[in-house]
Structure 1
Amino acid sequence: MKLTKHLLLFCFLTTLFSTGQNKEISLEEIWDGTFRTERMDALHSMKNGQQYSVLNFDRESGTTTIDVYDYKTLEKVKTLVNSSNIEAITYFTDYTFSNDENQILLATDVESIFRRSSLGKYYIFDTKTNQVTLVAEDKIQEPTFSPDGKKIAYGYNNNLFVKDLNSGKTTQITFDGEKNKIINGITDWVYEEEFGFVRAFEWNADSDKIAFIRFDETNVPEFSMDVYGSELYPTKDTFKYPKAGETNAIVSLHLYNLKNDKASEIKVNKDYNDFYIPRIKWTNNPDVLSAHYLNRHQNELDLWMINAENSSAKLALEERDKAYVDVTDDLTFLKDNSFIWTSEKDGYNHIYHYSNEGELLNQVTKGNWEVTSYYGYDEKNNKIFYQSTENGSINRDVYSVKINGRDKERLTKSEGNNRASFSADFSYFINSFSSASTPPEYTLNDSKSGNLIKSIKDNDQLSEKLLDYKTSKKEFSTIHINGNDLNMWMIKPANFDESKQYPLFMYQYSGPGSQSVSNSWGGANDYWYQYLAQKGYIVVCVDGRGTGYKGAEFKKVTQKELGKYEVEDQIEAARKLGKLPYIDETRIGIWGWSYGGFMSSNALFKGNDVFKMAIAVAPVTSWRFYDSVYTERYMTTPQENPSGYDENSPLSHVDKLQGDFLLIHGTADDNVHVQNTMRMVEALIQANKQFEWMIYPDKNHGIYGGNTRLHLFTKMSNFIDDTLGDKRDMTKENKDEKVKIKG
């Protein structure tokens, strides 16, 4: 059935291409939901391994359900929760099961704090009695079931609380929490943003101890943002933000014992001066806690095993690197408390198996490719499941391998981006697949062979809709620049004529370990590139040195020199592409957002003989303005590396500006502060350089909400037309005679 449908779609596609596509993508369609993809939200594999649950939202009624499906048949078995049947809840946006799946935590009225953190009202739904219980009257953070399902711990006003679900009694377990001073069990701004987690507390297996991290940010400098709003007077949002080289929060590890209602500080027997605790995790032994300790330079990572009964600590593992060590989320304790760990210590990210004492038992995966996701260990079949780039750095495939490293098997068949969600017993996996030409599709697969069992959901309707539009293929290739074969994609106009010449518009992000050239379905930006191609632009993206998934050496070459090698690669790529007969080398532009804005600014200034224009959205203009954890990981501190910070800062090169420059920023950007753009504006003014800029009031780093994105991309599209647009019909023959004309 699936093959027949795809065959019909292919025939339809062939017919349309032969007759011509007529419709053009509009900017309004990109952001009004016209090209929305179907997806599977909040999938949870049930403990029985034969069923899974999905969060479903009915747009017409505005209600939410948690529906349970059978893996084998894909038929809906039952609806566990329906918000229309709960008087207290109109709808909910997320859910979490207790370990025994008898209770479900429902998230409602959720409001964002920063990128990952939020406040919300939470209810407990009892699947046996259908009773609903409010966890707390106030909005709280990170409520988490104890393993036995009898309690919930949560954060409120920088303190931790535990609610007994049998008695209904709530106990406050920390008392010194205070805004902008002390935080218990919830991360501060920089941990949330750069270490990627919010909940800094963990239950042990017996549900009688809670380990948590305490943040003393009393001496961390404050950053304030004006919030303009709609009232007569603006307000201020003030929060602690440690910039590079400034004071970090003092972190400490603590343990609360529910048996005697006492909290104590845990110390390891190593004298750390300035350090981070980026991860804590209990082992299967309810009295043994693991904790990651990371020095401020982030090139020394220690894994400690801490005995909660006597507070003794043993160093189990040390990771060292000349540049930095990435914090891993893949630490998994097996039944014997041996553990799985991922590391790039051999030059590529791979899976390792260690004893409970920290002795290396085996390097499970090896090769000049990266493990990109670790899915878990199937104890019954002694198999590890993972995702990797073995089939090319722009692709992702799912594999299985024995824990001894033998009998590796590729489980996914289609070339592109494959991502698995395994059943609890590892007998099935739901594969989420997409490629640059195939929107997301979800299939049920057998975990032993990877063979397709059934199709669950696809986006064939979107594919058919897009056949009516003038779209172009995203062409993948490599370009040899500065001694490296760099991944690249190119989008040409649908009516491309190689006897003509086209303006070139480049996109990049280029941050350490990132990837923008990926064989996966794109989002709104890709539709915008199609929109630009319709207007006669060639759009290109090149992943230069410093980006990810090609080994540690390639990624870490930019250490202490952010903005040097990556910018050199973009300039040289543009210069080389400009020599192609169908590209007009006098009309080359570049854009980027965040790190990409830092890059596009530098590319225009340093590459003023190559780039005619650049757009920088929410750019870092000096790494001195950015946070300590991210910046020092790659640059050390400004005190130690002043030249690295200043020589590659766009602020140091504004005098070189010759082309057209558009700066864009949101005033409520808590991540890359608008201070970056204001300093750039002042530097340009004092250098007597003309430029364009756009400020979005009260918009954060994402610059969205209402018509904001439409306005933003209309602004950028008009700027591209004004600076790169040219009505001349240039051919190969007259390329050598072309002259630079100001757009």
Structure 2
Amino acid sequence: MAQKQFTLEDLNFGGTNYKNMTPGDRTLLWWGDRLVHVEASACYTVNPSNGKESLLLTAADLNRSIEAAGGDETATLQGAVSFPYPDQPLVLVTGTKAYTLYNFKTRRVECRIAKTGNEQAASWNAKSRILACVTGDNLYVGGKQLTTDGSRDIVYGQSVHRNEWGIDGGLFWSPDGKLLVYYRMDQSMVTDYPEVNIPEVDDSTHRIATPAPEKYPMAGQASHKVTILVYNTASGRSVQLQAGDPTDRYFTNVAWSPDSKTIYVFELNRDQNDCRLVSYDATTGGKIAELYRETDPKYVEPLHPIVFLPWNADQFILQSQKDGYNHLYLMDKSGHEIKQLTSGKWVVEQLVGFNPQHQSVIIASNELNPLQRNLFAVDLNTGRRTLLGSDTGWHTPALSASGRYLVDKYQAPDVPRHIDIVNVDNGRKLAYYDAPDPWAGYTVPTYECGTIKAADGVTPLYYRMVKPAHFDPAKKYPTVVYVYGGPHAHNVDAGWHWRSRSWETYMAQRGYVLFILDNRGSENRGRDFEQATYRQLGQEEMKDQMKGVEFLRTLPYVDTTRLGVHGWSFGGFMTISLMTNYPDVFKVGVAGGPVIDWKWYEVMYGERYMDTPQSNPEGYAKTSLLPKAKDLKGKLQIIIGYNDPTVVPQHALTFLKACIEAGTQPDFFTYPGQGHNMRGHQSVHLHERITQYFDDYLKPLK
């Protein structure tokens, strides 16, 4: 029987059949120590000892209760529910029109808070049952309007500093639910970048494009000013943390003390080489103390708030890579370091939670292998680490309220998805779910993983290679290097098919070899590995990628006269960098959303890795691709979202202008109305275009 062939509708996330082609999963939530399996129409409790399921609640009962309470919406369960009370039969349903607290024992709605329909941010507190939300740019708490000056210039209760340093929101409730910390960002002094919305194809009422300016602080220019306020639900008043002048400072990783009396903030200078942990009085906003300070000749990057021990309110865990790798440190509340809890040439990737009974912290780390992510219990008294679950693959954990049980979802190169329920107390695991291979019956390529040495001659780098299904080592194959290469990302790990992107499968099916290498500068390999690119983005990365090319040249089946390169964002920058710095190596390239000159990128990210254009003119000149426009030889297609707020269109457009002046001939395509990445079915169109470009210019033999 002939094997089926893939289409982009199968493989691309915007495709019509994509959902059926991804590994199966289970939506699992903890209700205290009871595991709940959530489906669209019902929820089931799961016995952690044998995996047997029992009906807990149904969407039909929920909707009858909502209707009886005066609601007019139909709620679904999957993706909309949580269990905020470990010892009460209550589920919170976040619907399209309201937040509903439903008692599934009495089958009655206990609390219902209407939504405004255009919330920019929202946070509901389980203790106080109060909703804080931002609507129309202003902050409301419990239905009371707190602010009146909210606008695109004055931003309340939302992410600040362009989501750097782990920031993903701006509302932080105290543990007792009586106080709310919120961000206020004044960006009135930040330059507007002139984005434009063009009318939709079927819009008969608008003829002229409309301005859609984006506040965009470019490297070396004026940045916004952030302050932090605390709202007291009892007094109805807010106080501001007395942190001093916010000019050229960053405030991140907000945390609360267990008694709700103290607020902790990591504060960074604009150079990002001086980080301080500061405590504040939650009642007055007054500064209490500077508890911890960390400096670095290059940069410090705090990414995680402190976390207090559940059994000791006088001690907390701090994460830092001050010894070269991200590790855990036990501190007392005065800021004294009691001891380093983890150490070694590996990275703690996540602090999952605690098991108070054994006084252990549960972590995810790559201790066993740089490509893996495994789970461990770390005894805080002895430092002993105990492996939880499998010693292979890439694991995503969820810990129960008491820390006694762990849901362990993992993939391995040959495992689409497996779910274990792990008893943290004794290490026993129950195999709960095995996803079938969604690609059964299809012609599947070969996925391989290996290592080469970096350009420094010492550091091992990991690569993935994807080969056509009926690979013939005697043939010569056109080869595409897919690249990202930037900070806080990696391409190769021990997930399914070595984490291969589905477009690689599509290209292999069309007769290409794909090669993907994680160069120095990418994540999870330690501080020095990441900082090797400091003040010269793209330079060491290109050297490592060219070591990958050297390796490809040793393979008789790689046709290095037909070598292509493709990447997006930082990978788009790398694509054009490689095409113009090594014009005789790469015949074809497709660069998506590329950075062209780092002086046009935003302050927080750009200055961390490059400093300012004023202090590092040589680095900015070296990394700019504008002078390289004249060196373009191969076929290059640049693709952007016309409304990209991350890498603004000025990058690509100015490079085109430089190419015009230099007489070189890149191709260009844009997606009107789209941002940094293409959404929905437009992503299928995008990848058809990328594929077609390589088919047109790389695949044909000379």
- TM (norm. structure 1) is 0.86
Q: Answer yes or no: is the 8 Å Cα contact 1:370–1:390 preserved in 2.
A: yes
- Which secondary structure state, in structure 1, belongs to the residue aligned with residue 501 of structure 2? helix
More displaced, 233-242 or 244-253?
A: 233-242
The aligned runs of 1:417-436 (5 Å cut-off) are 417-436=394-413
Q: Aligned match of 2:35 in 38, 42, 52?
A: 52
Q: Which residue is 1:60 aligned to?
A: none
Q: Answer yes or no: is the 8 Å Cα contact 2:232–2:238 preserved in 1.
A: yes
More displaced, 682-691 or 89-98?
A: 89-98
More displaced, 290-299 or 467-476?
A: 467-476
Q: Which residue is 1:199 aligned to?
A: 169
Q: Which residue is 1:28 aligned to?
A: 9
1:354 aligns with 2:325: no
More displaced, 561-570 or 643-652?
A: 643-652
Q: Aligned match of 1:284 in 245, 249, 258?
A: 258
Q: Aligned match of 1:173 in 137, 146, 156?
A: 146
Q: Answer yes or no: is the 8 Å Cα contact 2:376–2:387 preserved in 1.
A: yes
Change (3 A) 1:522 1:235: farther
Q: Which residue is 2:279 aligned to?
A: 305
Change (3 A) 1:296 1:40: farther
Q: Answer yes or no: is the 8 Å Cα contact 2:196–2:643 preserved in 1.
A: yes
More displaced, 347-356 or 232-241?
A: 232-241
Residue type of the partner of 2:3?
N
What is the rounded CA distance, in whole Å, between the counterparts of 1:206 and 1:215 in structure 2? 26
The aligned runs of 1:230-309 (5 Å cut-off) are 230=200, 231=203, 232-233=206-207, 234-268=209-243, 273-309=247-283
Change (3 A) 1:416 1:330: farther
- Which secondary structure state, in structure 2, belongs to the residue aligned with residue 544 of structure 1? coil
Q: Aligned match of 1:155 in 126, 131, 134?
A: 134
* Aligned-pair CA distance for 1:271: 6.7
Any unmatched runs of 5+ in structure 2? none
* Aligned-pair CA distance for 1:132: 5.8
Q: Aligned match of 1:133 in 105, 108, 112?
A: 112
1:388 aligns with 2:365: yes
* Aligned-pair CA distance for 1:525: 6.5
Q: Which residue is 1:736 aligned to?
A: none
Change (3 A) 1:436 1:651: farther
Q: Which residue is 2:74 aligned to?
A: 90
Change (3 A) 1:405 1:643: farther
* Aligned-pair CA distance for 1:362: 1.2
- Which secondary structure state, in structure 1, belongs to the residue aligned with residue 357 of structure 2? coil
Any unmatched runs of 5+ in structure 1? 1-19, 58-63, 110-120, 164-169, 728-740
* Aligned-pair CA distance for 1:331: 1.8
The aligned runs of 1:652-667 (5 Å cut-off) are 652-667=627-642
Q: Answer yes or no: is the 8 Å Cα contact 2:116–2:135 preserved in 1.
A: no
* Aligned-pair CA distance for 1:559: 0.6
What is the rounded CA distance, in whole Å, between the counterparts of 1:402 and 1:672 in structure 2? 44
* Aligned-pair CA distance for 1:539: 0.7
Change (3 A) 1:405 1:697: farther
- Which secondary structure state, in structure 1, belongs to the residue aligned with residue 313 of structure 2? coil
1:473 aligns with 2:446: yes
* Aligned-pair CA distance for 1:65: 4.8
Q: Deviations over 1:272-323 (max 9, x none)?
A: 6520111211111221111111111222111111122452421111122222
What is the rounded CA distance, in whole Å, between the counterparts of 1:522 and 1:324 in structure 2? 35
What is the rounded CA distance, in whole Å, between the counterparts of 2:197 and 2:131 in structure 1? 35
Paired residues in the alignment total 674
Change (3 A) 1:321 1:714: same
What is the rounded CA distance, in whole Å, between the counterparts of 2:687 and 2:523 in structure 1? 28
Q: Answer yes or no: is the 8 Å Cα contact 2:179–2:231 preserved in 1.
A: yes
- Which secondary structure state, in structure 2, belongs to the residue aligned with residue 548 of structure 1? coil
Q: Answer yes or no: is the 8 Å Cα contact 2:94–2:100 preserved in 1.
A: no
What is the rounded CA distance, in whole Å, between the counterparts of 1:272 and 1:669 in structure 2? 28
Q: Answer yes or no: is the 8 Å Cα contact 1:140–1:154 preserved in 2.
A: yes
Q: Deviations over 1:491-514 (max 9, x none)?
A: 122222222222221111101242
Q: Deviations over 1:193-237 (max 9, x none)?
A: x24434323222333322222111111111232212323322232
* Aligned-pair CA distance for 1:720: 1.0
Q: Answer yes or no: is the 8 Å Cα contact 1:147–1:205 preserved in 2.
A: no
More displaced, 123-132 or 647-656?
A: 123-132
Q: Which residue is 2:356 aligned to?
A: 379
Change (3 A) 1:312 1:617: closer
Change (3 A) 1:44 1:493: same
- Which secondary structure state, in structure 1, belongs to the residue aligned with residue 696 of structure 2? helix
Q: Deviations over 1:354-398 (max 9, x none)?
A: 011111111111111111111112121111110111111111111
Q: Answer yes or no: is the 8 Å Cα contact 1:272–1:295 preserved in 2.
A: no
More displaced, 393-402 or 671-680?
A: 671-680
Q: Which residue is 1:731 aligned to?
A: none
- Which secondary structure state, in structure 1, belongs to the residue aligned with residue 415 of structure 2? coil
What is the rounded CA distance, in whole Å, between the counterparts of 1:196 and 1:330 in structure 2? 9
What is the rounded CA distance, in whole Å, between the counterparts of 2:497 and 2:145 in structure 1? 46
Change (3 A) 1:438 1:726: same
The aligned runs of 1:676-695 (5 Å cut-off) are 676-695=651-670
* Aligned-pair CA distance for 1:681: 1.4
